[in-house]
Amino acid sequence: MPSWFHPRPRTRPGGRGRRHTGRDLRPVPRATSSGTMGAGTRRCAMNRVSVSNGHHRLGRVTPAATPLTVLVDRWVTDGIITAEQAALIRAEGVAGVVAPAPDSEPAEDRPHAATLAVEALGYLGGVIVLVGAIMVGALYWDELSTAARLALIGTAAGGLVAGGLLVPARLGEAGDRLRSVLWLASTGAFAGFMGVAAVDVLDLDDSAVGLAVAGTTAVWAGALWTLRHGFLQQAATAVLLMLTAATTIVQVFPDADSLPGLGVWGVAAAWLLLGWGGVLGPRAAVLPAAAAALVLGAMTTFPADAGVVLALATAAAVVVLAVAFRDLVLLVVGAAGSLLVLPQAVSLWFPDTLAAPLALLVVGAGMVLAALWVARRRTGSGPAGGRRDLAAGDRLVATYAACAVAAAVALAVVVIGLT
């Protein structure tokens, strides 16, 4: 409190008489233009208290707030308010600072109608470009030369990239989403461009076409991802790397039907480890996507017995990770993978028996219990007792583990392919 602002007891005229229990305040001088304090009007402390810095008023605080406890302690010490009133005032504060009035969310945090309209128009425009290119190709494809075909598809791919680059930064998250969608469409158009080039220009066979398209498009998607680290570009790059690994194995070992799936599994495992370690993000999106790719890659190794074992182990590992990480989305992926893998495995190993339905009953009951356990654990604010959060991995450990898994899978593919 300033030195000139303190309470004084009010007495009857003449300076004598019974003392009032209420308190009054001396006049609060009003600043003049010269900076001196002139006579001002009285201000009741319980109505409004002004602080010399001009930032605080009782009940309303600007963003540059002084800790509430400091002000309340001063008021109690000076006798302006009682201890009970101080407790009520503190109850209105948040973390020692007066809470702002419950107003609507800030204007800068609310999505503007124009921003939403721009995002919607961008999506619609990208779809129209692709549909238009497809319609033109369908109508005149046989009449177009190879150069014209490449020019048509290449223009669509380049135009979508340019459209993403021209998205203004002021659109924020809406602009990022729009750019990601446009560049994902550009990745698809570039894949078509490379398909035409591989067939009509390079005259490659079917397996080589797949490798050429997957490999070059993975480079394209990776380049777009390095420009803007959006999850859609990351996912597209990861999927194309899986296809590149699978088509490479087909080229090297054409008679090994189960090995391409093992290549997909290896890339997905490395992706999951890098997402767990925070090397790639966001973790909440990478883990479920990589886990789904793991399960699908393992399923493509059927009907080999080793492939069935790999698929079962993968589905079980995803469920265990979901429980350990307390991740419901990851648990859904593991449950779906188990429901896809388990019946096929039982049918291959134990045909025409009760094993399949009984196994489904057991697995389903286990999934329900796991979901309930994860949901109950997620209600807490964090790991209890200072226990380390298993979902937050170490970047260095994750990087080394991903490299080790990739090397082990590559070695396994070579060994199995040569035997």
pLDDT tens per residue across span 329-374 = 998 999 899 888 888 887 788 777 776 677 777 777 877 777 777 7
Of all residues in the chain, the percent with pLDDT exceeding 90 is: 34
Is 50 exceeded by the pLDDT of residue 29? no
Candidate ranges 17-26, 129-138, 243-252; pick with highest mean pLDDT: 243-252
Distance (Å, whole) CA 152 – CA 174: 29
End-to-end alpha carbon distance in the chain: 87
DSSP lists the bridge partners of residue 371 as: none
| Percentage of the chain lying above the pLDDT 70 cut | 73
Burial 379-391 (b: 16+ CB within 10 A, else e): eeeeeeeeeeeeb
Q: Looking at 166-203, list the stretches that DSSP marks H as alpha helix, in order from N- to C-terminal side.
A: 173-196
Full-prediction pTM beyond 0.85?
no
HSE (CB half, 13 Å, CA atoms) of 141? Answer: 10
**pLDDT tier at 261 (50, 70, 90 boundaries)?**
very high
Structure tokens at 142: 């046989």
Cis preceding-peptide flag for 303 (omega within 30 of 0)? yes
As a whole number of angstroms, the distance between CA 90 and CA 98 comes to 8
What number is the average pLDDT over the span 396-406?
94
